Each structure stands twice: as structure tokens, then as C-alpha cells.
Amino acid sequence: MWFETLIREETGCATYMIGCQRTGDCMVFDPLWDIQPYLKMAKKKKSKIKYVIDSHSHADQISGARRLAEETGAELMLPELAEISYEATRLKGGDEIRMGGVGLRVFHAPGHRPEQINLLVIDYPRGEEPWAMLTADFVMVGDVARPDLAQGGESGADQLFNDSIPRFLELPDHVEVYPGHLAGST
Ligand SMILES: [Fe+2]
């Protein structure tokens, strides 16, 4: 598998691309409005963008998911609970996307937003267990996301601390965290 982090320096937003060399397919997670970096990376990797996934309905950035999917013919995927008015394949906790030896297992973690999903990354030739999680706006390095963006902020906090984080903490310590916001974000 290959794994790339694409960062928009101005805001500290991080996007991830994961692909399988064997099948020549890849996936983009939480693309920003400017889709050129993803097209360039796919070309560099000689890979076809097969899936475009948004982790949640973003309030702090403009998603480029729809235009990237339209441009590339990729399948657009969003959480089953996302309130959207356009067509997309829906993802729920436990679903798994496969691209050759790459597995992307959906981990639903309500709190920041009720629909928030994250992806556990599995490199099957390496092992059956996930080695990383794309945590989007769920868990940052040393912090958790704000839970007040959904209607009823208190219930967001309740879900985060009583459901999502306890399940997250059950994951093995070796699972690496790749959040949607890095240093420099506002
Ligand atoms: Fe967010």
C-alpha cells in the first residue's frame, strides 16, 4: 500500500490518500476545495482515484469531495447519518472498503458531528489488524474535537466521552493517529 498526507499550510488541514500498487486504485479522505493536489498525486503514483470519502459535513472547510468525484468518476461516499441533498454511497460503522491488499474499515464516532466517521487502515500483507486510523475531526494529537457543532452540543459531548472515546481507547496502542487538523489550524 501507499499512504500520503497532503496538507494545506494556510489552515493546517490534512487530507489523506491511500492506494494499492497492485490494483492501481486509491482513495481520498476529506479532500479540500482545491482538487489539483489530489489529481497530481494520483498521477505521480500512477493510480486511479476510485473512492472519495467525506468524514462528516464540514463546518470549518469547503469540501472538494463532490467536484473531485465528478472530475475522476470516483465513487462518492459519506456517512449514513450525513444530512445531504445529493447522491452518495453511505457508510456505517463496521463497513470495509477493499482495494487489493488495503482495507479501510469504518469507525463511527459521533460527538464532533453525529455522523462523523473515521477509517481504520489495514495493510493485509502486513497483518490483519489496523495499523492506523484517519481520525478526521474526532481525535487530534493530544486533544479531541469540539462537540458543539451539532444541534444539541451537550449530547455531542455526551456521545464523545461516553461512547466514541471509550471505543477508541480499546484499540491497540500501536494504532497511529492521523487527524484532519495539524499545527497551524484555527
Ligand atoms: Fe469538522
Tell me how far the alpha carbon of residue 32 lies from the centroid of ligand 1, in angstroms.
12
Report if residue 186 sits inside a domain. Answer: no
Tell me how far the alpha carbon of residue 117 lies from the centroid of ligand 1, in angstroms.
11
Report if residue 35 sits inside a domain. Answer: yes
Report if residue 173 sits inside a domain. Answer: yes
Tell me how far the alpha carbon of residue 108 lies from the centroid of ligand 1, in angstroms.
14
Report if residue 139 sits inside a domain. Answer: yes
Residues 29, 139: Cα–Cα separation, whole Å: 15
Report if residue 107 sits inside a domain. Answer: yes
Of 20, 43, 23, 4, nearest to 31 (Cα)?
Answer: 4
Mind listing the pLDDT tens digit for each residue in 33-46?
Answer: 999 999 999 999 99
What domain range is 54 assigned to? 2-179
Tell me how far the alpha carbon of residue 179 lies from the centroid of ligand 1, in angstroms.
11
Tell me how far the alpha carbon of residue 59 lies from the centroid of ligand 1, in angstroms.
5
Tell me how far the alpha carbon of residue 35 lies from the centroid of ligand 1, in angstroms.
19
Report if residue 95 sits inside a domain. Answer: yes
Tell me how far the alpha carbon of residue 150 lies from the centroid of ligand 1, in angstroms.
10
Query: What are the DSSP E strand ranges found in 21-129?
Result: 25-29, 48-53, 75-79, 89-91, 96-99, 102-108, 117-123
Report if residue 20 sits inside a domain. Answer: yes
When divided into structural domains, the chain yields a total of 1
Mind listing the pLDDT tens digit for each residue in 13-28?
Answer: 999 999 999 999 999 9
Q: Give the pLDDT confidence score for residue 175 in this predicted structure.
A: 97
Q: Identify which has the larger pLDDT, 170 or 147.
A: 170
Query: Domain of 145: which CATH number?
Result: 3.60.15.10
Report the predicted TM-score, pTM, of the whole model to 2 decimal places: 0.95
In the chain, the amino acid numbered 20 is C
Tell me how far the alpha carbon of residue 46 lies from the centroid of ligand 1, in angstroms.
31
pLDDT at 127 over 60: yes
Cα–Cα separations (whole angstroms), residue 2 to 31, 46, 102, 144: 17, 11, 9, 27
Report if residue 184 sits inside a domain. Answer: no
Tell me how far the alpha carbon of residue 127 lies from the centroid of ligand 1, in angstroms.
31
Tell me how far the alpha carbon of residue 151 lies from the centroid of ligand 1, in angstroms.
14
The crossing angle, in degrees rounded to 10, of helices 65-72 and 36-44 is: 40
Residues 8, 55: Cα–Cα separation, whole Å: 17
Cα–Cα separations (whole angstroms), residue 35 to 18, 72, 139, 145: 16, 10, 25, 25
**Coil, strand or helix at 76:** strand
Tell me how far the alpha carbon of residue 137 lies from the centroid of ligand 1, in angstroms.
5
Q: Give the pLDDT confidence score for residue 124 in this predicted structure.
A: 97
Contact 68, 98 (CB under 8 A): no
